C-alpha cells in the first residue's frame, strides 16, 4: 500500500528536463535573458546553461536577440521565446457565449470566432466548432498539422445551475452523460483536453499577463457567473477536483434575498436587472463591443453590489491563505473592470479586517479573452513551465486503494 503522498517522476523521455523548463519559465516571465542572467538566476553552471540554450534554440523554442556589446569579452546575446514555436486551439464554452481562438506560443490570438447563445447544449457546441474551425485555420494561415492541441475551458457541472441562468433543465441535463472530450476527438485530429473555465482564465493571466511579483494570489473572473482560480507557489492550483477557486458558493453576509457570491457578483444578475427595463438590451450584454453606458443606471447599482460582495469574499479567502494579491477580471471592457476594482477597494476599506492583511486589488488584463487564452495555454503550463505544486501529487493508485 503506497502512501497517499507520492513524489512522482515521469518515464517519458519527451518530457522537458526540469532545467530546460526552468529556463523557458524564466524567459517567459522576464521577456528575455542572456546566458549570464540565467546563470545568476538559476545557480546552474555557465556550461550547463550554454548546453540548454543551444538545445532550446535547435528545437525552435528560443530566438536570439540583438547582441549587447559590453566593454570586455564576447557580446552577450539575449534570448527570447519564439512566438511561432507552437500553435494551440483554445475553445471557451460559456453560459452565454462560445469562443474559439488560434493562439501562438506567446499568447497572440491569430484568429478567432465568437457567438452568443441563450444557453449551451452539447448539440449547439459541436455545431459551433464544426462551423468555425475551417475558416479559423484559413484566417490564421495554419494547416491542421501545425496545431499542437485543442483545449477546452468550460464551467464544470453546467447542468447544476440551469435555473440561475434561465436555461431549460431538461436540455441542460444532456450535459450529464455527454463526453465532450471523445466527441471532439472524433471530429478533430488533435489531442483534446477539457478544464474548468475559471482556472483557465487564471492561467491566462499567469502565463500571458505582465510579470506578477506575487507567488500566491486569488483571481476572480466575473462572467455570466462568478468563477476564478488560485495561484500558489507561482502556479495555478486546481485542487483535487480541478475546481479550486470556484468562488460561486462562497457565503456573503447581509444581502437581500441570497447569501452566495454568485447571486451578486455575476453578470447574470446585471442582466436580470436590465431585463426588467429592456429584454433585448439585457441579451446584448455579452456581445463584445456592446456599449455599457446603455445599461445605466443598473450598472452602477450592480457594481456596488458586486464590489461589496467581492470584498467579503476577499476577506474570507484571506482567512484561509494569506494571499499576496487579488486580481479581478471579467467579461466586460477594461474600464468597467477598473470601476469594479475601485468598488472592491472602497468596500474593503470599510469592512472589519481584524486578523487579515489586505493585499493590493488589481484589474486583470484579458477581459473577454481570458478564458479562451487560458484554454489554449494549457500545454504551455504543463510542458514548458515549472509547477511546484505537481511535484507532490497523490498517485492515482493511492486514491483507488483507500
Identify the pLDDT of residue 86: 96
CA distances from 278 to 186, 333, 341 (A): 42, 21, 27
Helical packing angle, 334-350 and 298-320, nearest 10°: 60
Identify the pLDDT of residue 391: 58
Q: Decide the pairing of beta strands 147-154 and 192-196.
A: parallel
Average pLDDT over residues 85-112: 96
Identify the pLDDT of residue 390: 66
Instruction: Quickly name the fold that domain 16-81 has.
Output: Arc Repressor Mutant, subunit A (1.10.10)
Compute the mean pLDDT over every residue in the chain, rounded to the nearest whole number: 88
Give me 312's grid cell.
Answer: 467579503
Identify the pLDDT of residue 165: 65
Judge residue 54's burial from the number of C-beta atoms within 10 Å of its C-beta, 0-12 exposed, 13-18 middle, 19 or more buried. Answer: exposed
Residue 160: pLDDT band by 50, 70, 90 thresholds? confident
Over 80: is that where the pLDDT of 335 sits? yes
Over 90: is that where the pLDDT of 337 sits? yes
- Let me know if the fold of 16-81 is the same as that of 87-200: no
Identify the pLDDT of residue 398: 38
Over 50: is that where the pLDDT of 136 sits? yes
247 Cβ neighbours under 8 A, 6+ residues apart: 198, 220, 226, 227, 228, 261, 262, 313, 317
Domain made up of 211-364: CATH architecture = 2-Layer Sandwich (3.30)
Identify the pLDDT of residue 199: 94
Over 50: is that where the pLDDT of 97 sits? yes
52-77 per-position pLDDT tens digit: 999 999 999 999 988 888 767 677 89
284-329 per-position pLDDT tens digit: 999 888 999 999 999 999 999 999 999 999 999 999 999 999 999 9
Q: Give, as one character, the DSSP assignment of residue 221.
A: E
Average pLDDT over residues 12-38: 83
278-295 per-position pLDDT tens digit: 998 998 999 888 999 999
Residue 162: pLDDT band by 50, 70, 90 thresholds? low
Over 80: is that where the pLDDT of 21 sits? yes
Domain made up of 87-200: CATH architecture = 2-Layer Sandwich (3.30)
A 10 A CB-CB count for 383 gives: 15
Question: Per mean pLDDT, which range of 211-225, 354-368, 377-391 is the poorest?
Answer: 377-391
Question: Per mean pLDDT, which range of 14-28, 138-152, 212-226, 236-250 is the poorest?
Answer: 14-28
Q: Give, as one character, the DSSP assignment of residue 251.
A: B
Ranges of each domain in the chain: 16-81, 87-200, 211-364
Q: Decide the pairing of beta strands 360-363 and 325-330.
A: parallel
Amino acid at each position: 500500500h503506497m502512501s497517499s503522498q507520492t513524489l512522482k517522476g515521469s518515464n517519458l523521455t519527451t518530457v522537458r528536463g526540469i532545467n530546460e523548463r526552468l529556463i523557458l519559465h524564466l524567459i517567459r516571465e522576464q521577456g528575455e535573458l542572456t546566458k549570464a542572467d540565467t546563470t545568476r538566476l538559476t545557480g546552474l553552471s555557465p556550461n550547463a546553461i550554454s548546453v540548454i540554450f543551444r538545445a532550446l534554440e535547435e528545437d525552435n523554442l528560443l530566438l536570439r536577440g540583438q547582441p549587447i556589446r559590453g566593454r570586455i569579452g564576447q557580446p552577450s546575446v539575449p534570448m527570447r521565446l519564439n512566438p511561432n514555436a507552437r500553435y494551440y486551439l483554445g475553445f471557451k464554452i460559456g453560459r452565454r457565449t462560445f469562443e474559439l481562438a488560434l493562439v501562438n506560443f506567446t499568447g497572440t490570438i491569430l484568429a478567432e470566432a465568437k457567438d452568443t447563445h441563450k444557453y449551451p447544449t452539447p448539440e449547439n457546441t459541436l455545431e459551433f466548432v464544426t462551423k468555425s474551425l475551417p475558416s479559423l485555420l484559413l484566417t490564421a494561415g495554419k494547416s491542421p498539422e501545425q496545431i499542437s492541441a485543442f483545449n477546452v475551458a468550460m464551467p464544470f457541472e453546467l447542468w447544476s445551475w440551469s435555473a440561475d441562468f434561465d436555461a431549460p433543465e431538461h436540455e441542460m441535463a444532456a450535459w450529464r452523460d455527454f463526453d465532450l472530450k471523445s466527441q471532439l476527438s472524433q471530429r478533430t485530429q488533435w489531442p483534446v483536453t477539457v478544464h474548468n473555465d475559471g482556472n483557465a482564465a487564471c492561467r491566462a493571466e499567469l502565463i500571458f499577463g505582465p510579470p506578477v511579483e506575487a507567488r500566491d494570489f486569488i483571481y476572480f473572473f466575473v462572467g455570466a457567473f462568478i468563477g476564478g482560480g488560485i495561484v500558489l507557489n507561482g502556479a495555478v492550483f486546481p485542487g483535487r477536483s480541478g475546481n479550486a477557486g470556484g468562488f460561486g458558493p462562497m457565503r456573503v453576509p447581509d444581502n437581500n434575498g441570497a447569501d452566495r457570491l454568485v447571486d451578486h457578483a455575476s453578470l447574470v444578475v446585471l442582466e436580470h436587472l436590465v431585463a426588467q427595463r429592456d429584454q433585448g438590451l439585457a441579451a446584448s450584454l455579452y456581445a463584445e463591443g456592446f456599449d455599457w453606458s446603455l445599461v445605466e443606471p443598473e450598472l452602477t447599482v450592480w457594481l456596488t453590489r458586486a464590489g461589496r460582495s467581492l470584498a467579503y469574499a476577499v476577506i474570507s479567502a484571506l482567512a484561509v491563505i494569506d494571499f499576496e494579491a487579488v486580481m479581478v477580471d471579467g467579461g466586460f471592457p477594461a474600464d468597467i473592470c477598473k470601476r469594479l476594482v475601485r468598488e472592491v477597494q472602497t468596500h474593503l476599506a470599510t469592512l472589519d479586517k481584524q486578523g487579515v492583511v489586505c493585499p493590493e486589488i488589481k484589474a486583470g488584463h484579458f477581459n473577454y479573452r481570458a478564458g479562451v487564452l487560458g484554454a489554449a495555454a494549457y500545454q504551455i503550463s504543463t510542458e514548458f513551465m515549472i509547477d511546484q505544486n505537481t511535484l507532490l501529487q497523490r498517485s492515482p493508485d493511492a486514491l483507488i486503494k483507500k
